[in-house]
Structure 1
Amino acid sequence: MNVLIVYNHPYEGSFCAAILAAVTKGLLSAGHEIDLMHLDADDFDPVMRSKDLRAFAMARNDPEAAFALLDPRVQAYRDRLQAAEHIVFVFPIWWELMPARMKGFVDKVIFPGIAYDYTEKGSTGMVSLLKRLKGVTVITTMNTPWCLYWLIFGNAIQRALMRGTFWKIGVKNRTWISLNNVKGQTQAKRQSWLTQIEGRMRGLPM
């Protein structure tokens, strides 16, 4: 299976980097093909600029002209995204939200004419253009305890990404692996998480 990994963390010594290594090891050991989008290494520009908003407005009626307005990095990502049979996102949660590059990826790449199109219902109805995509796995790290993230801060990732983005465009198989209170965990617990993640990736159906 062709698995696209979308990764966002600027520090090579981070726990997210260890997660990326575990994800990669598990997928390769099971015979999956990997395509890594490292948003930091790619110097991905997360900002929605005026030309991007113009393209967004044009996309319903003239998707090819809209696509031509987008920056070359987004254009290069389109075919890779549409070729994916599974997408794995790896990123930290900072101040209860995803980092800027990951939010920009959602804004600029999960885009009309690239990831979805509109139905006859207009802007409220969407249909996925990711015809090969079988599922999405999101792996996040945070230092906030799960109960606080859910009850006090409103669980923004679940609301905005899992439901507000991927459920909305019709991705049925959605999994979120949330690793919480990371700084407070022992090295043994962190290693246990990495082992579990490697196993989960190895177990993805072909």
Structure 2
Amino acid sequence: MKTVIIFDHPYTSNASENVPHQRSFLAAVYKQVQTQLTAEHGEVDLIDLHADHFDPVMSAQDLANWRRGVPINDQIADYQARLLDADQIILMFPIWWEVMPAMTKGFLDKVYSKGCLYEAGSMQTKLVKQPQIKVITTMSTPSWLYRWVFGAPLLKALFRGTFLKTRLFHFKWYGFSQVEKKSLAQRQEMIRKFKV
């Protein structure tokens, strides 16, 4: 099974070690997921948005290409080809102000585009393998507050507003909440036990 992981964190996927101001719990989770999937004889294809210097901003020329249903640039065309070949797609990012960061939003805007990865009129996905979509997030907001007070806006935007709309039905969200309040030993145990 081929898994494409879209990783969005300013410190990149290499920040899994416990180095102050250069560490990311999300990167440590990525390392665990990559190890798990490789052990299961899966192929892991990493798209590390910050390491790739991905530009999330949609320019006027980008939008003109998007409207014509052609890839915006070579990097986008490469990402699209990799997604078309995926059996599983995993998005990994921190939740900031209750939604995804700019890199992830820009990735969806520019890469998951009409004419390239879904049909413009019917909204039918072109991802013919019907990949499993998994989302792994970290956030400071308590889980109960995020779901019951804020209404889980990420689920509305990603599951209902993007994937369900384009008929990608296999969606699962794994959320890590308030990790910064855990001890190092507790964080390490959470990562050790985590499986996608």
Q: Same fold (TM over 0.5)?
A: yes
State the distance in 2 between where 1:49 and 1:78 align.
Answer: 19
- State the aligned residue count: 186
Q: Structure 1 residue 154 and structure 2 residue 155: aligned?
A: no
Q: Report the CA distance between 1:176 and its aligned residue.
A: 0.1
Question: Which residue does 1:62 correspond to in 2?
Answer: none
Q: Report the CA distance between 1:191 and its aligned residue.
A: 2.1
Matches within 5 A, 1:124-143: 125-143=122-140
Name structure 1 gaps, 5 residues minimum.
Answer: 60-65, 202-206
Q: Structure 1 residue 100 and structure 2 residue 72: aligned?
A: no
State the distance in 2 between where 1:90 and 1:114 align.
Answer: 23
- C-alpha change, 1:196 and 1:165, in structure 2 (3 Å) is farther
State the distance in 1 between where 2:164 and 2:131 align.
Answer: 13
Question: Which residue does 1:117 correspond to in 2?
Answer: 119
CA contact (8 A) 1:19 1:90 kept: no
Question: Which residue does 2:18 correspond to in 1?
Answer: none
State the distance in 2 between where 1:144 and 1:172 align.
Answer: 27
Which moved further from structure 2: 101-110 or 149-158? Answer: 149-158
Which moved further from structure 2: 94-103 or 187-196? Answer: 187-196
Measured on the aligned residues, the alpha-carbon RMSD in Å equals: 1.4
* Runs of 4+ with >3 A deviation: none
State the distance in 2 between where 1:81 and 1:102 align.
Answer: 15
Which moved further from structure 2: 147-156 or 41-50? Answer: 147-156
State the AA in 2 paired with 1:27.
L
Matches within 5 A, 1:62-81: 66-67=70-71, 70-81=72-83
Q: Structure 1 residue 89 and structure 2 residue 86: aligned?
A: no
Q: 2:188 aligns with which of 142, 167, 191?
A: 191
State the distance in 2 between where 1:49 and 1:142 align.
Answer: 30
State the distance in 1 between where 2:43 and 2:9 align.
Answer: 22
Name structure 2 gaps, 5 residues minimum.
Answer: 16-22
State the distance in 2 between where 1:94 and 1:195 align.
Answer: 25
State the distance in 2 between where 1:133 and 1:51 align.
Answer: 31
- How does the TM-score come out when normalised to structure 1? 0.85
Question: Which residue does 2:164 correspond to in 1?
Answer: 167
Matches within 5 A, 1:46-65: 46-59=56-69
Matches within 5 A, 1:20-31: 20-31=30-41
Which structure dedicates a bigger proportion of its chain to helix? 1
CA shift digits 1:116-163 (9 cap, x unpaired): 113xxx3xx311101123311100000100111122223121010122
CA contact (8 A) 2:66 2:110 kept: no
State the distance in 2 between where 1:40 and 1:154 align.
Answer: 29
Question: Which residue does 2:51 correspond to in 1?
Answer: 41
Q: Report the CA distance between 1:195 and its aligned residue.
A: 2.2
Question: Which residue does 1:14 correspond to in 2?
Answer: 24
Q: Report the CA distance between 1:185 and its aligned residue.
A: 1.9
